[in-house]
Structure 1
Amino acid sequence: MADPRRFKPFRATLRRFMEAWTQVRIQEPAAEALGIDPERPTIYVLPRSSLSDGLLLESLTAGADLPDAATTHLLGDRQLPAQLALPTTRRRLLRRRRGAASPFQAAIEACRQSGQDIQLVPVSIFWGRAPGKRFGVWQLLAADSWRLTGRLRRLLAVLVNGRDLEVHFGAPLSIAELDDGRAPALTDRKAARLLRVHFRRMRTRVLGPDLSHRRTLIEGVARSEPVRRAIHQDAESARHAARLSRRARRYGREIAASMSYPVLRFLDGLLRRLWNHLYDGVDARGLERVKALAGEHTLVYVPCHRSHIDYLLLSYVLYDQGLMPPHIAAGRNLDMPVIGPLLRRGGAFFMRRSFRGQVLYSAVFKEYLHRLLNRGHPLEYFIEGGRSRSGRMLPPRPGMLSMTVDSFLSSQQEDGQSLLFVPVYIGYERILEEASYQRELAGGRKRKESPLALLRVLRRLREPHGRVALNIGEPLALDEFLDGEQPDWRQVAATGERPAWQRAAVTRLGETLTRRINAAATLNPVNLVALALLATPHRAIETPLLERQLALLASLSRADALPPGEPADWIDRVRQLGMLNACRDALGDLVTAEPAQATLLGWYRNNVLHLFALSGLTAFAFRHQTRHTLDDLEALLAPSWPVLAREFAIESPPRLRESLAEVLERLTALELLEVDGAGWRRTRSLAGEEQLRMLGRLMQPSMERGYLLLSVLLSEASGHFTHDGLTSRTRQLAERLARLTGRDSPEFFDRQLFAGLVANLERETWLSTDDTGHLHHDERLHRAARQVQTLFDPALRHRLQRIRHQAEA
């Protein structure tokens, strides 16, 4: 392949065959984005000598706005081919090339002789990595992998996978910039080294690190120093130590993934069929950001966890877009017959829900995780721990994050590994588990996963499930994060001991990642209709008013966060999915939701409620007070806002006053408020006042839960309640309030929400915990409670006090 003149009698015929037979599925980047200078000679560089790659490259460049790869360049008295291959020294079947001059050396000498620069463009070609709609034994055998391919296997790849190709062009490399005047052989080695690094990074990005034998990896984990130290700690005798060593290997087999390229290809075809059957489409955003980082950094994907589909969906999208799927941390409950082995070969490694009291298991798992990260394998885990039954982002759990930080700190002693977290938001128009979530929120027990349960879910595949959004958030470099948390962390890491500050840093790391996940959220028709419809007292609304409210929510959102279409289209979409009812009436059309539909819509509303937190809170402040100045509004909302920002996992603005002023201006522009001297008042328009009231109701449940908790807490002396005691008492009162007010919303009295509220009050220093676990507060909390209570109407305050007194009696 190195010289296009080879096989000259057959080349034209072979090229016509390649043009007719092959089809490129992914070509990146586009020709105009490469930055190739048309005035300079271009030489394409392939990672290995291959006739099929060369012919394909000629075919691609002939039909695109790219320099021709079939030509030759005349520089001085030297004639150079337009494509070259990196030299190889590996043994051939019949011969081994010894001392062969590098093809770049001739280009360097020609560049010097002619005074004309040459640009080298690296090209990576992958045959049959993603089989599209076809997959089978032959496609699996002919797949590209880290193993070198012989001529027979490459011929098989061309014949079997020629319709599913990936071609990746690299940035042009200037020989003139590389040439520093030294001997051509030195510049040659420099160019070859840079190109090999590029090809290795591209191969790592597409195929991931080389997948070593699972048995070797497990054996290495069992013999590692941390595991041997755990065995020595527990062993009572040499015989006991040998038994613990065998147990460590058994733990390794229980945990370790067995990822294989053939299974990945099989799953790609299987999941493609599933998505086409189950969903109307998958909208992926931000993957270009990941492609720019993959291959140079170890990536840890941290998606929100709403459905079992999450990890399948993310792996499929990454694989389909030319990226290596990650190893996925999965609960041991998924290691069930049939499903478990398939997931394990697709990259899942399994973990127990708790490591408490299991020193050896903990050591094995941590060492396995460390080796994955240290080798550069992309990783995926859910920092929420489990799926969100309420639809909102759950507080992050520190377990996997802490182990990742441990691994990162220890790796700094070895090779200074670079690690990036990639937040991922996944939003569904309809999820498969909606029935089980409703049952569990209503108090039902969580059913154990089993193949039979999977079969029950498969029966729902014929129902419409809409579209899915997968959005990549802003990546977070762990070293930069630690620089902000503890500037001397590198010196501490060199000691090999866990620093005292790490626990607090991991907590803040989890909070930062949850905020970045939520910041990447986008809206779909179900989210929007749920926000508007559930803000009505009886889950019924006139169609024109619903359309106006949807338009209002769209005006308060980012333009890139909105679904296509108009409010009428969104309503019709949700109706088609069976989540609301359209009623014909002589006085005008109505949109209603039955109790079961409303409960389900609440889950989708909670996915995106955080996007309207500040605007909803501002509108809520005008609910029972007609007029506010900016000073009054800031003083009124300042105590509540930090706690709400934590509850909704959103970035609190650096200056609340400025953000409130922006919200007031937007609400005024939308004719929901009017400027009144130095302040603002509710609009005199009945339609605008109704829309403002509905916007304020978005925050009403959260505000009522907070007020109820404060009223219970402050009814007793400081130090009376523990975390669990306060959470349980408040939850009971919230459930009673929901029943008395006719709310069919189990999410309103969800225990996790009250537990999180207590934790957030403590993080904001409104509460403190003593050594016995009792909560303490001071006069500041009393003043804040008195201020916040003015947001509520007297009837609600009286009802809350009456419910509390009845419970105490």
Structure 2
Amino acid sequence: MRALLTHVLYTLVWWMFRPFNRLISYRSAPHPLPEGLALDTTQPVVYVLSNRSWTDYFVLARICRDHGLPLPNRTGSNFPTPTRAGIVYMPALLKARAHHDALMQLIETGVATKSFNTQIVPVSIFWGRDPGTETSWFKLIFSDTLQASSVRKFFIMLANGRSVFANFGLPLSFREVVDREHNDATAARKLIRALHFHFLRARTAALGPTLTPRAVVINSLLAAPVVHSAIAAASPSLSEDKARAYARKCAEEIAANYSNAAIRFLERVLSSIVFKRVFSGIDVRGLERVREWAQEYEIVYMPSHRSHADYLLVSYSLYRSGLVPPHIAAGVNLNFWPVGALLRRCGAFYMRRSFSGDRIYTAVFRAYVDSLIQRGYAIEFFPEGGRSRTGRLLAPKTGLLSMVVAAGLRQRQRKVLLVPVYVGYDRCWEVGSYAKELRGAKKQKESAEGLLKAGKILGDSYGKAYINFGEPIHLQAYADQHLPDWRNGFDADAPDTPEGYKHFISQLALEHARRVNAAAVANPTSLAAIALLSAPRRVVSHDELVEQIGHLVWLLKGHPASEHQYIPDTAPRSVVDNAAPIARLSRVPHAWGELYGVSSREAVALTYNRNNIQHLFAIPSLIANLFRTRLILADEYVVTVVRAMYPFLRTEFFLRWSSDEIDTVTRSWIEVLVQLGLLSRDGERLRRPDAGQTEYSSLAMLGRILSETLERYAITALLLAQQPHLQQPLNRERFEEDCRLLAERMAILTGRNAPEFFDKTLFKGYLNTLIDIGLLSQNEQQDLIVDQRIVRTAERAQELLSDDARQMLLQLLSRKHGTAPDSPSGAS
């Protein structure tokens, strides 16, 4: 009788649900669903729902039907079959033994029946994606919860039916799990426990921790010991009340006001208006790995920073894939009306560009970062500190990283994962303003007026945006290896850090930058930019461009920077066709074949794209460059030159190989070049192709990729070698400016419209590398002391230049110093 009543009630609810089912809008993960699950069609399937709910069951049935998955069925006391999938509710599995029902008996019977096997697929259905707060009665009624009654579930469905997310766990072999245990009862308990933890972790990954009201967060910051200490140590001219009021003002300025409703609103605006009109697509890689990490670790996302779109794209992609968006560290310059309040409600917390010397602000900010880590919120920040104006990855800043790492190591509840994220574009919408800033124009301050002007980007197409999640750093494990005594050196409340912590953070920041670049995306526009900008006059025939891009693609395939490196389009002709309209290439018809060219103005924009992936070709380009003026070279000579230049390349391009590995890496690159026909073996030596061969033009193009970089190296070395008194202090700031001015003059004389060629930060990096390898030293006044060996370095640097570049550079130096142009050390 009871079974009959249950069946009648089920049928009634099913008919009532049918009109609503058509209106429900859902997303599911993994994506695409059938391929992501990879179910074995010869084995039965049992779906496990996280809570007992017929509405969840009906939604699951619809998703399975839409994606061609086995349909769930109420099996009763029967085993599922390959043609009839079963369904189990997790609450039934968690009941005590005294409350056995048919479902639990089915599990226990399956354990005891050795011939039975099935694929267990845990499924979590989330209505509304709200993690919950202790706030209004409205949320108490309409927010999804595991304890919702049937009546409340009806209201939840009405309120959140347009925002349903279904998370499918990877299939688990029932027989493999139970056969690992000798006792059937133990096997059943362990299976249930594993499913229980899976659902808890899946909920945390999708919804995040329960939200704390902002007022409570601010009060907790003011009560933090580190803030109390800062207030007590405030200047005698500042009373305790004023210091406390200032601390509250800092907390109000910093703290986010996370709102799921605001996130849903922004997601709809971005998907329906902004991203739909600006980008032809958003290509995201590695999300399934992130989903797995989010169920076990607290994640800190650390993306490259090239555009204001970066943080919107990362949060948008995570949210649409069913992961909770992170709290984002944003510059206080973005806190303007009306954007500031919206971003704050979407998880942004604001930080000043500099707060050294402001002890109270520093303490409040540190306490806020600690609170985010302690509560288990995902965090996102940009280690570069600002957007890259050149397209290269900038040297990381370590202030916020130091705070985040310290907070992660102080808490012992959950392991922390630092995730590098490469963000790239077929065309970056700020590239025009970046070029102006590199020429000396003042950076435009973010404002509502600027936001309105920026609306013009909606009328243009910028191709695709790309997000690639790289190889993460397991923070605690990394600290075990590089900061062994950290467990004894951190106190939960004290701001002190263990000895060697500053160096540890510097090395961690560099390692992260290398992992970002190792996950680079070689998109069509960047590949076309590499080839076109390496052409002598930025013009090349269509056939030659296709051949060169083909060689670039095969170089990346033959020696990838890492397993996470990504090439969206590997067909050379398709790359050219896709890049041409985005890069605004000019087509010149000709009787012997169509030509492709790029104007001076567009070449500046393409320089940005080239710099995004230039590091991927740094080693093969240096090798190819050696053959620009030489026909035959010995392998050992090539290896020796690369070894000598590698410290500079590694500093500028954040390359992942250590100095100990570079000889092996160089030999591996040589073999790839030989396989592609760009070099050949001539006995024990290497030979370049003859000038009439098609491979010659590709080798020449490859060598020119690093031409500007090698010219900057030579500028630095030659200027140092021509100092009138070597071993005497040299004002570093003035010398960096001399390097910049010489590069600027050279760019003007050669007709280069590339302001990034004389970027002062690049020369600063070269000097740092010369200090690291011992050719320069720096005294307490930050003046440089030059070693005599720099003369030999300058001579080697000249050997890497083209004849025209070497002649021009020596002429410029001779006119500046009044020395003979053929001697780099004539003034010494």
Give the Cα separation in 2 of the matches to 1:260 and 1:401: 26
| Secondary structure at 1:73 match in 2 | coil
Aligned to 1:676: 682
Q: Is the 8 A contact 2:418 2:473 kept in 1?
A: yes
Q: Which stretch has the larger CA shift, 225-234 or 573-582?
A: 573-582
1:603 aligns with 2:608: yes
Q: Which stretch has the larger CA shift, 190-199 or 747-756?
A: 190-199
Aligned to 2:260: 261
1:654-669 aligned within 5 A = 654-669=660-675
| Secondary structure at 2:556 match in 1 | coil
Pick from 473, 488, 492: which aligns with 1:491?
A: 488
Offset of residue 347 of structure 1: 0.8
Q: Is the 8 A contact 1:427 1:469 kept in 2?
A: yes
Aligned to 2:798: 789
Offset of residue 252 of structure 1: 0.9
| Secondary structure at 1:556 match in 2 | helix
1:355-394 aligned within 5 A = 355-394=355-394
Pick from 46, 49, 66: which aligns with 1:46?
A: 49
Aligned to 1:742: 751
Q: Which stretch has the larger CA shift, 401-410 or 116-125?
A: 116-125
Q: Is the 8 A contact 1:527 1:604 kept in 2?
A: yes
Offset of residue 160 of structure 1: 5.6
Q: Where does structure 2 lack aligned partners over 5 or more consecutive residues?
A: 80-85, 131-137, 559-564, 819-828
Aligned to 2:649: 644
| Secondary structure at 1:639 match in 2 | helix
Q: Is the 8 A contact 2:303 2:422 kept in 1?
A: yes
Deviations 1:728-771 (A, max 9, x none): 11111111111122222111101111112212332344433222
Q: Is the 8 A contact 1:255 1:349 kept in 2?
A: yes
Q: Which stretch has the larger CA shift, 432-441 or 186-195?
A: 186-195
1:302-321 aligned within 5 A = 302-321=302-321
Aligned to 1:430: 427
| Secondary structure at 2:440 match in 1 | coil
Q: Is the 8 A contact 1:646 1:760 kept in 2?
A: yes
1:799 aligns with 2:808: yes
| Secondary structure at 1:421 match in 2 | strand
Give the Cα separation in 1 of the matches to 2:557 and 2:534: 21
Q: Residue type of the partner of 2:58? A: L
Q: Residue type of the partner of 2:73? A: A
Aligned to 1:93: none
Offset of residue 556 of structure 1: 1.3
Q: Which stretch has the larger CA shift, 248-257 or 737-746?
A: 737-746
Pick from 50, 56, 59: which aligns with 2:59?
A: 56
Offset of residue 71 of structure 1: 1.5
Aligned to 1:553: 552
1:701-780 aligned within 5 A = 701-716=708-723, 717-780=726-789
Q: Is the 8 A contact 1:328 1:349 kept in 2?
A: yes
Aligned to 1:217: 217
Q: Is the 8 A contact 2:627 2:688 kept in 1?
A: yes
Aligned to 1:476: 473
Q: Which stretch has the larger CA shift, 706-715 or 32-41?
A: 32-41
Structure 1 residues 804 and 27, CA, compared in 2 at 3 Å: closer, same or farther? closer
Q: Is the 8 A contact 1:227 1:367 kept in 2?
A: yes
| Secondary structure at 1:211 match in 2 | coil
The aligned length equals 784
Pick from 691, 697, 705: which aligns with 2:698?
A: 691
Structure 1 residues 779 and 140, CA, compared in 2 at 3 Å: closer, same or farther? farther
Q: Is the 8 A contact 1:36 1:172 kept in 2?
A: no
TM-score w.r.t. the length of structure 2 is: 0.87
Aligned to 1:290: 290
Offset of residue 12 of structure 1: 4.8
| Secondary structure at 2:239 match in 1 | helix
Aligned to 1:410: 410
Q: Is the 8 A contact 1:48 1:88 kept in 2?
A: no
Aligned to 2:825: none
Aligned to 2:576: 571
| Secondary structure at 2:307 match in 1 | coil
Aligned to 1:69: 73
Structure 1 residues 140 and 746, CA, compared in 2 at 3 Å: closer, same or farther? farther
Offset of residue 456 of structure 1: 1.1
| Secondary structure at 2:302 match in 1 | strand
Aligned to 2:707: 700
Aligned to 2:824: none
Give the Cα separation in 1 of the matches to 2:631 and 2:112: 83
Give the Cα separation in 2 of the matches to 1:719 and 1:6: 96
Give the Cα separation in 2 of the matches to 1:568 and 1:517: 28
Structure 1 residues 607 and 206, CA, compared in 2 at 3 Å: closer, same or farther? same
Q: Is the 8 A contact 1:45 1:83 kept in 2?
A: yes
Q: Is the 8 A contact 1:40 1:116 kept in 2?
A: no
Q: Is the 8 A contact 1:640 1:788 kept in 2?
A: no
Q: Residue type of the partner of 1:656? A: I
| Secondary structure at 2:350 match in 1 | strand
Q: Which stretch has the larger CA shift, 675-684 or 550-559?
A: 550-559
Aligned to 1:467: 464
| Secondary structure at 1:123 match in 2 | strand
Give the Cα separation in 1 of the matches to 2:787 and 2:603: 40
Q: Is the 8 A contact 1:427 1:522 kept in 2?
A: yes
Give the Cα separation in 1 of the matches to 2:183 and 2:656: 53
Offset of residue 699 of structure 1: 0.6
Q: Which stretch has the larger CA shift, 60-69 or 265-274?
A: 60-69
| Secondary structure at 1:506 match in 2 | helix
Offset of residue 637 of structure 1: 2.6
Structure 1 residues 202 and 692, CA, compared in 2 at 3 Å: closer, same or farther? same
Give the Cα separation in 1 of the matches to 2:654 and 2:747: 25
Offset of residue 789 of structure 1: 2.7
Give the Cα separation in 2 of the matches to 1:721 and 1:666: 43
Structure 1 residues 142 and 35, CA, compared in 2 at 3 Å: closer, same or farther? farther
Offset of residue 399 of structure 1: 1.1
1:234 aligns with 2:237: no
Q: Residue type of the partner of 2:816? A: A
Aligned to 1:92: none
Structure 1 residues 793 and 458, CA, compared in 2 at 3 Å: closer, same or farther? closer
Q: Which stretch has the larger CA shift, 118-127 or 196-205?
A: 118-127
TM-score w.r.t. the length of structure 1 is: 0.89
Aligned to 2:826: none
| Secondary structure at 1:557 match in 2 | helix
Structure 1 residues 779 and 480, CA, compared in 2 at 3 Å: closer, same or farther? farther
| Secondary structure at 1:336 match in 2 | coil
Q: Percent of aligned pairs with the same residue?
A: 34
Deviations 1:193-252 (A, max 9, x none): 544432221111111111111110111011110100111111639x81122122212111
Structure 1 residues 407 and 684, CA, compared in 2 at 3 Å: closer, same or farther? same
Q: Which stretch has the larger CA shift, 192-201 or 506-515?
A: 192-201
Aligned to 1:134: none
Q: Residue type of the partner of 2:713? A: G
Give the Cα separation in 2 of the matches to 1:35 and 1:286: 17
Q: Is the 8 A contact 1:86 1:192 kept in 2?
A: no
Q: Is the 8 A contact 2:277 2:461 kept in 1?
A: no
Q: Which stretch has the larger CA shift, 423-432 or 45-54?
A: 45-54
| Secondary structure at 1:282 match in 2 | strand
Structure 1 residues 550 and 337, CA, compared in 2 at 3 Å: closer, same or farther? same
Q: Where does structure 1 lack aligned partners over 5 or more consecutive residues?
A: 76-80, 90-96, 131-138
Give the Cα separation in 2 of the matches to 1:232 and 1:677: 77
Deviations 1:117-146 (A, max 9, x none): 79765331112449xxxxxxxx99997556
Aligned to 2:9: 7
Q: Is the 8 A contact 1:286 1:471 kept in 2?
A: yes
Aligned to 1:252: 251
Offset of residue 37 of structure 1: 8.9
Q: Which stretch has the larger CA shift, 552-561 or 532-541?
A: 552-561
Structure 1 residues 98 and 357, CA, compared in 2 at 3 Å: closer, same or farther? same
Deviations 1:245-291 (A, max 9, x none): 22212111110111111111111111111211111111111111101
Q: Residue type of the partner of 1:502? A: Y
Q: Residue type of the partner of 1:601? A: L
Structure 1 residues 163 and 218, CA, compared in 2 at 3 Å: closer, same or farther? closer
| Secondary structure at 2:73 match in 1 | coil
